[in-house]
């Protein structure tokens, strides 16, 4: 690649921010929908700032799984998709969206709803 820029290293935007840490492990608990939404947003910021989006899809997908850690990897292993889909981070994120965003704390939702009703 140095040949493409006349022997110069790639611009800083292509390299990403050095020393940038990935998002923390996803907390899988009673607030999973909120936790997932925030974690996903942090990962997207990290992906842009680190230059990860410039990498191949398989590297992006595996970095996503690495950042999610073991609990989410157990969930990932339950997904049913083809080998090419495993390499696409957008498909992997959509599968996690479908898994995490439909799970709500029904007891809490009922309490909030019933507390708002006038008696």
| pLDDT of 42 higher than 60 | yes
Instruction: Report pTM.
Output: 0.71
Confidence label for 4 from pLDDT (cuts 50, 70 and 90): very low
Query: Domain range spanning residue 111?
Result: 42-119
For residue 82, being part of any structural domain is answered with yes
Residues 6+ apart with CB under 8 A from 86: 61, 92
Q: Is residue 5 part of a domain?
A: no
Instruction: Give me the pLDDT at residue 14, please.
Output: 46
Residue 9 lies in a domain: no
Per cent of the chain over pLDDT 70 is 81
CA distance 67 to 26: 8
Per-residue pLDDT band for 109 (boundaries 50, 70, 90) equals confident
* pLDDT for residue 89: 95
Q: What pLDDT is recorded for position 12?
A: 42
| Residue 109 falls inside a structural domain | yes
Tell me how many domains the chain contains: 1
Contact (CB, 8 A) for 78 and 95: no
Please indicate, yes or no, if residue 52 is contained in any of the structural domains.
yes
Beta-carbon contacts of residue 25 (< 8 Å; ≥ 6 apart): 67, 68, 69, 71
- pLDDT band at 114, cuts 50/70/90? confident
Q: Does residue 34 form part of some domain? A: no
| pLDDT, tens digit (0-9, with 9 covering 90-100), for 72-87 | 999 999 999 877 788 9
46: in domain: yes
């Amino acid at each position: 690649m140095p040949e493409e820029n006349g022997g110069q290293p790639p611009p800083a935007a292509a390299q990403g921010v050095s020393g940038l840490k990935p998002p923390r492990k996803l907390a899988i608990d009673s607030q999973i929908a909120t936790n997932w939404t925030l974690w996903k947003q942090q990962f997207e910021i990290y992906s842009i700032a680190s230059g990860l989006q410039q990498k191949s899809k398989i590297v992006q997908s595996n970095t996503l799984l690495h950042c999610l850690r073991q609990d989410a990897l157990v969930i990932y292993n339950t997904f049913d998709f083809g080998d090419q889909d495993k390499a696409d981070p957008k498909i992997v994120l959509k599968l996690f969206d479908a898994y995490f965003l439909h799970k709500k704390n029904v007891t809490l939702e009922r309490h909030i709803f019933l507390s708002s009703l006038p008696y």
